[in-house]
Amino acid sequence: AGVRDRQPMDRSVDFPVSVVLPAGGTGERTGLQTPKQFCSVLGRPLISFTIQAFERVSWIQSIVVVVAKEYMDLMTDIIQRFQHKKVQVVPGGKTRHRSICNGVLALGEATREEGQMLAADRAKVVIIHDAVRPFVEEDFLYKIAMSAKEQGAAGAVRPLVSTVISTTSEGYLDHSLERAKYRASEMPQGFTYDVIHQAYQRCTESDFEFGTECLHLALQYCGTNAKLIEGPPTLWKVTYKRDLAAAESIIKETLSQSACIITGGSAQAVTLADALQKAVGALDTELDITPDLMGDNSKYLLEEWNFIQISVSHSCLSEVEAILMDLEAVNRALLHPVVVIWVHLNGLDELSVSRKMAVPAAIRDLASAAKLRNILVYGIQLHQSADTERWERSVLRVAEITSTLIRDRSPALVGQLLQA
């Protein structure tokens, strides 16, 4: 959900769509030191995930991020560091509405000033979203964009989670609302440029200060009745510290869906790979087996696979070094850490590699260097065994350790040579 789309939908949207992403919050109300949109998840600020969610949608032309003045530099750094395209940063206003309005105005100006660079035409539809809802998906954005084009305005709603009650001024129960008639208004919302632009032209200072709903302004100042569309639970807003943990867990799960075992073609390695594939199947990770990453097999480098290199006896860390070079050549670890696990299969009567002084030191050094480039390298050693039961136990342990390493992505454990 969200981070990877294996089968991206090819929506045909024949009008220009732009996005305004208000990220003006300074986090003062939440008690966190860093505003949540800038909090790091797997080494990347949350807002970068949200930007990525829009960036990968082919029919979205440009994204205007609106941030508080004191965060302009940080935001610019984030865009450079994670090589975001399509993004323009503009300073926010004192309230949420002023910030969104700045973003909408910037869309108009961009068209006039740098027209060809940003968009061929002025945006026909403007999608407004929150920086702290990183899991929005293309199909829902499509629904919002199409409805906004047709109706002038459209917004995401969700069923109410709790009963809503009204309170007396003394803090007692007055009455409770009939749940079925009400919805929670969420993001994204979509507007034709004309509607949202006009709404902000016509609304009052008081609306700018105290208003909460863009949909409401569209209704009041343009007579535009917003179409409400029920969104998926993934639209939820990262609000509390616990939500950051939830977001991290969703992202980790997405990144852990598949791994590719590289056998180098050795028969022993292929046997182990087959056994691992069976054992890991139960652990919810898809495993592909490939002899190498060359030719057609280089496709694994481009999608979001993790890597398990099986080395047999004599062969050594050079195979892992080759994967690292391939990954760097395609800039694969730019947006999130990639896991590379070196599984060393010891022969029946061979000295364990952990007892060859050079190997543990070599993998540790390799891993330290790779970690700086966002690639997490771990080692696992297992011993060939003639005892079937013992061998199966070892394979199962490799599967469990592998699965844990891929899921946890723990930076502190890189370079360890674990025993299966």
Q: Which of 415, 323, 417 is nearest to 377 (CA)?
A: 415
Which residues in the 116-155 window bind Mg ion by CB under 5 A?
A: 137-138
Is 204 an interacting residue with respect to a copy of itself (CB under 8 A)? no
Q: How many residues of this chain interact with Mg ion, rule: CB under 5 A? A: 3
Cβ neighbours of residue 21 under 8 Å, at least 6 residues apart?
47, 50, 51, 54, 63, 64, 65, 66, 103, 128, 129, 130, 131
Cβ neighbours of residue 356 under 8 Å, at least 6 residues apart?
none
Interaction partner, residue 404 (a copy of itself, Mg ion, none; CB < 5-8 Å by kind):
a copy of itself
Site string for Mg ion, 3-42 (x = CB under 5 A): --x-------------------------------------
Site string for a copy of itself, 227-256 (x = CB under 8 A): xxx---x--xx-xx-xx-xxxxxx------
- The least CB distance from residue 203 to a copy of itself, in Å, is 15
Place of tokens 């610019």: 76
Is 304 an interacting residue with respect to Mg ion (CB under 5 A)? no
- The least CB distance from residue 56 to Mg ion, in Å, is 8
Instruction: Give backbone dihedrals phi and psi of 405, rounded to 5 degrees, phi first.
Output: -65, -40
Give the C-alpha separation, 312 to 51, whole Å: 43
Instruction: Give backbone dihedrals phi and psi of 133, rounded to 5 degrees, phi first.
Output: -125, 75
Burial of 172 (0-12, 13-18, 19+ CB in 10 A): exposed
> Applying CB under 8 A, which of residues 184, 294, 334, 358 lies at the interface with a copy of itself?
184
CA angle 44, 138, 199 (to 5 degrees): 95
Is 219 an interacting residue with respect to a copy of itself (CB under 8 A)? yes
Burial of 377 (0-12, 13-18, 19+ CB in 10 A): buried
Q: Which CB, 106 or 353, lies closer to a copy of itself?
A: 353
Q: Residue 318 is encoded by which pair of tokens?
A: 């050079």
Q: Which CB, 364 or 373, lies closer to a copy of itself?
A: 364
Q: Which CB, 137 or 326, lies closer to Mg ion?
A: 137
Q: Which helix (H) or strand (E) holds 32?
A: none
Query: What does the binding site for a copy of itself look like in residue numbers (CB under 8 A)?
Result: 155, 157-158, 160-167, 171-173, 176-177, 179, 181-186, 212-213, 215-216, 219, 225-229, 233, 236-237, 239-240, 242-243, 245-250, 354-355, 360, 364, 397, 400-401, 403-404, 408, 410, 412-413, 416-419
Query: What does the binding site for Mg ion look like in residue numbers (CB under 5 A)?
Result: 5, 137-138
